[in-house]
Structure 1
Amino acid sequence: MSQIPSTTTTQTPTPPAPETVIDNEFSLYTKTLTFNVIGRYDPKIDRLLYHTSHCVVYKFNDSQDWEQTDYQGVMAVYTRKKSEDDTDVDDIYDHGIIIMNRNTPENFSLGLLSKNDSRTLGLSEIKTEYQTDYIIIKNLEGEIFGFWVHEEQDREGIFALIKAIVDRE
């Protein structure tokens, strides 16, 4: 008597919902567009790590008060291609933050450098702090900036990313 081979049924994967496909395509489009726009301002952009649709920049002034700057718009954190010439002080940063300003043609940018690289170059370290609604960064020149990001989830994600970049050993 011959045995009948058992048949196993394989399920055809369900295609994603059209809304998901459109959302994914739109997300890819906005990331590509953001990358290309940043590339006009910083040709050393290597990879877009995170971006959020709305950020407002504040500066801690000499009167020890927070002062809103004219910078607000899309905020992006990205990696930069390493410079072959380490002597150019304006080009020592391996990561960057940019606010693509909606108020004026001038954008806000801030370089990020790890603790290890800061020590190697004999520079003070970049400091970061998270306060209820703000990401606080003290840059190499001692200026203190506060970044208000509209979406709490984005604010937390951006802070975690910046902290990881700056705290690298």
Structure 2
Amino acid sequence: MARKKKQSESNAQLKKKQQQLEEYSRQTLNHIALTNIDPKTGQVFFNSAICSVYKFSMTSNSWEKMPVLGTLFIYSRRVAPEDETDPYPYALIILNRTSPENFSLGLIPQNVSYYTNAGVQKDANDIPEMNSSLEDSFIMVSASDGQMYGLWLFDEKDRDPALKLINWCLHESGRPAPQAS
């Protein structure tokens, strides 16, 4: 009887290790895929399997569904503070399953300073403020280019953690990142 119990515990430990290895392999493959698209990919904070994107049209005063459906990733980027052409230390990207064109959006905190190529210090106040909020079932993101995007995540339990991480990237990146569930 004790032998069967020990073997059962051993099988449970083996199964747990196998699941951990599968998760690590999945994360590694995701990181490799992201790095192929954005060579400055740092740490991946969050992903959600199904996300679609809507864009607010000022001309029609309505939301238009973009041809984007895929996995959402929120991640840090390795950027030099003096690189004014790429001031985004964070980003979100949706790896599009419906076409070869992915959707990406650079995220810049309002407390970031960077230097121009001429050595002039600028701060994030020189870039239109980005904000995010949850409205109904959409994560609304006002981008630095003045556009408004709505992200719809199929898995409802992913919406709040995604919003918290986007807000952290935009407003609180000096503090530890919230834990994704």
TM-score by length of structure 1 reads 0.84
Match of 1:155 among 148, 152, 159: 159
Q: CA deviation at 1:100?
A: 0.3
Alignment of 1:13-162 (within 5 A): 16-62=12-58, 63-83=60-80, 85-88=82-85, 91-117=86-112, 120-121=123-124, 122-162=126-166
Query: How many residues are treated as equivalent by the alignment?
Result: 155
Residue matched to 1:6: none
SS in 2 for 1:110: strand
User: 2:154, 2:14 → 1: CA distance?
Assistant: 28
Once the two structures are TM-superposed, the CA of residue 141 in structure 1 deviates from its matched residue by 1.0
Q: Is the 8 A contact 2:130 2:141 kept in 1?
A: yes
Gaps of at least 5 residues in structure 1 are 1-11
Shift, 1:152, TM fit: 1.3
TM-superposed deviation, 1:19: 4.3
- Aligned-residue CA RMSD (Å): 2.0
- CA positional deviation for 1:161: 0.7
Q: Distance in 1 between matches of 2:135 and 2:19?
A: 32
Number of the residue aligned with 2:178: none
Which residue is 2:116 aligned to? none
Whole-angstrom CA distance in 2 between matches of 1:67 and 1:19: 45
Q: Which has the larger radius of gyration?
A: 1
Distance in 2 (CA, whole Å) between partners of 1:100 and 1:165 is 20
> Which secondary structure state, in structure 2, belongs to the residue aligned with residue 115 of structure 1?
coil
Contact preservation (8 Å) 2:42, 2:77 = yes
Offset at residue 23 of structure 1 (A): 2.9
Provide the C-alpha distance between the structure 1 equivalents of 2:18 and 2:50, rounded to a whole number of angstroms: 22
The residue aligned with 1:167 is 171
- d(CA) in 2 for partners of 1:76, 1:32: 13
Find runs of 4+ consecutive structure 1 residues off by over 4 angstroms.
14-19
The 2-side partners of 1:164 and 1:138 are apart by 15
Gap change, CA 1:154 and 1:84, over 3 Å in 2? same
How far is 1:20 from its partner? 3.3
Q: How much does 1:80 deviate?
A: 0.3
